[in-house]
Amino acid sequence: MTLSVALKHTNGIHLEIEFECKSGELLALVGPSGSGKTSTLRAIAGLMPIEQGKIYLLDQEKNHIWLDTQNHIHIPSFERQVGMVFQNYALFPHLTALQNIALALPKGDSIEIAQQLMEDMGLIDFHDRLPDQLSGGQRQRVALARAFARKPQVLLLDEPFSAVDHPTRKTLYEELIKLRENISIPIVIVTHDLREARLLSDRLCILDQGKSLQIGHPEHIVSSPRNGRVAELVGLTDIFSATFLKAQHPDQILQKQATLLWGQGVEAFPLTIFDKGRLPDQTEVKWVIAKEFVEISKKPFERINTLSAKVLQVRRLGEISSVDFEVELAFGPTMHFELSTRLVNELNIDIDDQVFLYLDPKGIHIMPVYSSPAHKEVEKKKRDKPLKIVAVILVAGEGSRLGNLPKSLIKIDGQTILERQLNALQELEIEDIVLVTGFYQEAYKELNLPSNVLHAHNEQASIGQGSSVRLALKTVYEKLEEVDAIIMLLGDLPQVNAADLRQLIEQFKIRSKGEVVMPLVSSQRGNPVIISEKVLKEIVSSEKLTVRGWMDQYPNEVEVWQTENQHFTFDFDTKENIETFVKKTGSKVELPSKP
C-alpha cells in the first residue's frame, strides 16, 4: 500500500505539498513551526477542508480514494481508516484507558482486542485508570494503542514525543522502532526535532511556509541540501554566501571545474569546485562543506583551496572537541568543527594559533539561494516599479589627512573617482545629479562636467559635511520634481560601481519598512545611503537636520542592508590606505596636484 498525497491550499493556511509514503515506510515531516506540518497531517486524516488535492491509498488489490477535489470526492474523517496520535494525545478524559481504546474498535470487534492491545503496550494494570491518572509515557502508549485499535491503513503521528521527558522519550523511540517491525502500513510522523526525525525515519520531507522543499533520505538531505533554506532548516551551521562562476579556461572545463567566489568585491576568495552543470554562470549561491572533506594542518598545503585561519576557540568535551576557526579573509568568516580530541592533541592547536585549512572540492556543496514563490512575486512587483532616483555627490571636503587635496579628483588607472562615479550613474541611467563643492571649487570648475549635473557650491564647507548635505537636498528640492529617492554619494568612495549602486537601489525598492536604506558591512556603517522623498522633505523643512542626524533620530526608519561588499566602506582617507589599495588591486593611483 502506498499513501500518495498532493495538496494545494491558499486560504488562511498556505499549503503546497506533494509526497508518497510506502507501506512500512516512516516519513518524517520536518519544518519550523507554522510550516504546515500539522495541517498536512490533519488534511490526510480529513480534519481540514482542502481547496485542491488528492489523497490516494494505492493498493495492489484495491485503491482507496480519500480525497479528490477534481472529482468531488471527500471521504469524511470518520470513514477514513487512519490511526492518529495527537500532540497532547487527546485521550477522552471521561473514559478509562480501556474505554478510550475500545471506542476506536471497528464495529463488531470485541473488547478483548482492546485488552490485548493494552497488554502489547505494556499497560496491563491500567485498564480502569482515567487519563489524568496516567503518566505522560503511559498516556502516549494508550494513544498509540487507540490508533492501532482502528485497524488503520495509515498511521499519523503528530509530534508524539514532544510532551514526555527525555528518558521516557528514549524508551518510546525504541518501542516505535520495534513496533515498526510488526506493522506494514505507511507511517507519517510530524516533528520539529531533526535528530528525532533522522533517528526514526526512512525519509524526510522538509517543509517551509507550507511547501515541501526537499524529500529524501535523511543523510542525503543533510549532505546535499537542495538550497540554502533547506540547509538552514536541517540545522547546518557554516553556510556561506558566494557567487558561482562557470569555468572560462579550457583546462578547467575539461576537468569539470568551476570557481566559487567566496565573499564580494576585491576581498573575495576563489575556491575551486566541481561543476555539476546545474547552475548558470554568475549565480548567487550558498555553500556548505561536509567537514570530513576539510584537512587541517599547521603547515601550509601546496594546493588549491588552501586558506589560513586562526583558532578562535577549543573546547574539549571528552572524546570530541569543538573547535572554531576564523578564516583569514576580510569578512572574517568562522568555521565550526567537531574533531576527535586525539586529533586536536596531535595538531597541538590552541587559541590564536595559525592553521591552514584545505577544502577538498569534492566536499563542497553549493545550492541556489532559496526564496519562496510568494516572496519572489512581491519582490518582483516592487522591483518593477520605476523610481525616479537622484544622485547627490558630495565633494566639498578638504581632504586634510591626505595633505589637503580634492580627494574625488584622485585618479585610479587614469580616471578620477568622480568620473568613475559619474560613469556608474550613467550606466544606471540616473540623469539627475547634484554635485556639491566646497573647498577646491576652482578645480571642479575646470572639469568639463556633463550638462545634466547641477552644481551647488557650499560657501561654508568648513563647518562640516552637514551643511553640504543640507545644501544638496535643498537644491534637489527646489530644482527637481517628482523625486522618489536620493542616493547620497561621498566623493571619496573609490570602489563603488554601478553594480553596487544597483544592489543598493534594489534593496531600497524591496525594503519592508523605513525610509532609509544603509549598507552595513560587518557592523560598520557604509556609504552611500539612499533616502526617500519623505526624508528629503523633512530635512529640508527642518532647521538643522542632516541625513545622519535624521537616521539617529529615527533609528526604526532605517533599514540596514547586511552585506559583505567592502566597496561600501572603503575610502581614501590616509596615505597608508592608498598604499594597501595599490598593493591589493595592482591599480595605479595618481594624486591630483595641490591647488
Partner 1 sequence: MDLQALFLSLQLATLTVIILIPLGVLVAHFFPMKNTLGSFAKEAVITLPLVLPPTVLGYYLLVGFGGNSWFGHWFEMMTGQTLVFSFLGILIASLIFNIPFALMPIQRAFEAIPQDLKDASSTCGLPPWQRLFKIEIPLSNKGILSAAVMTFTHTLGEFGVVLMMGGNIPGQTRTLSISIYDSVQSLDMQGAGVMSMFLLVFSFVALIFTQRLSLSARDFQGNLR
Instruction: Return residues touching partner 1 (CB under 8 A).
Output: 42, 45-47, 76-84, 86-88, 90-94, 103-104, 106, 132, 146-147, 149-150, 156
Phi, psi angle pair for 477, to nearest 5°:
-65, -40
Angle at 284 (CA atoms; ends 505, 36), nearest 5 degrees: 95
Q: Supply the minimum distance, in Å, between the C-beta of residue 85 and partner 1.
A: 9
| Closest to partner 1 by CB, 95 or 453 | 95
Distance CA 13, CA 36 (A): 7
Supply 298's cell numbers.
599547521
Distances (CA, A) of 114 to 161, 195, 408, 500: 23, 33, 86, 69
Distance CA 92, CA 322 (A): 47
Shortest Å, Cβ 105 to partner 1:
9
Query: Closest CB to partner 1 among 187 and 230?
Result: 187
Minimum separation from the CB atom of position 56 to partner 1 (A): 19
Q: How far is the CB of 147 from partner 1 (least distance, A)?
A: 8
CB closer to partner 1 out of 106 and 332:
106
Edge-to-edge, what's the strand order for the sheet holding 415-416?
Answer: 415-416, 411-412, 589-590
Residue 104 C-beta: closest distance to partner 1, Å: 4
**In angstroms, what is the minimal distance from the CB of 132 to partner 1?**
6
Closer Cβ to partner 1, 131 or 526, answer by number: 131
Query: C-beta of 320: minimal distance to partner 1 in Å?
Result: 41
Q: Which is nearer to partner 1, 142 or 296 (CB)?
A: 142
Cis ω before 386 (30° cut-off from 0): no
Secondary structure class of 246 (helix, strand, coil): coil
* Shortest distance (Å) from residue 96 CB to partner 1: 13
Q: How far apart are CA 159 and CA 39, in angstroms?
A: 12
Q: Which residues pair with residue 74 across a beta bridge?
A: 67
Q: How far is the CB of 329 from partner 1 (least distance, A)?
A: 52
DSSP 233: H
- CB nearer to partner 1: pick between 91 and 496: 91
Look-up: residue for cell 474505554? 99
Q: What is the DSSP string of 66-98?
A: EEEGGGTEE--GGGS-EEEE-TTTT--TTS-HH
Smallest Cα–Cα separation from 132: which of 170, 100, 178, 84?
100
Residue 545: strand, helix, or coil? coil
Give how far the C-alpha of residue 155 lies from the chain's centroid of Cα atoms, to the nearest Å: 33
Residue 103 or 253 having the CB closest to partner 1: 103
Alpha-carbon distances of 309 from 97, 298, 314, 320, 333, rounded to whole Å: 60, 10, 14, 21, 10
Helix (H, G, I), strand (E, B) or coil at 366: strand
Residues 6+ apart with CB under 8 A from 485: 387, 388, 389, 390, 505, 508, 530, 531, 532, 533
Q: Answer yes or no: are the C-beta atoms of 97 and 131 closer than 8 Å.
A: yes
Q: Indicate the residue among 92 and 274 with the shorter CB distance to partner 1.
A: 92
Nearest distance from C-beta of residue 84 to partner 1, angstroms: 4
Separation between Cα atoms, residue 325 and residue 508, nearest integer Å: 35
Q: Which CB sits closer to partner 1, 151 or 298?
A: 151
Q: For residues 42 and 470, which CB has a smaller minimum distance to partner 1 in the complex?
A: 42
How far apart CA 371 and CA 380 sit, in angstroms, is: 12
d(CA 490, CA 442): 19
Nearer to partner 1, 148 or 262 (CB): 148
CB of 90 to partner 1, least distance (A): 4
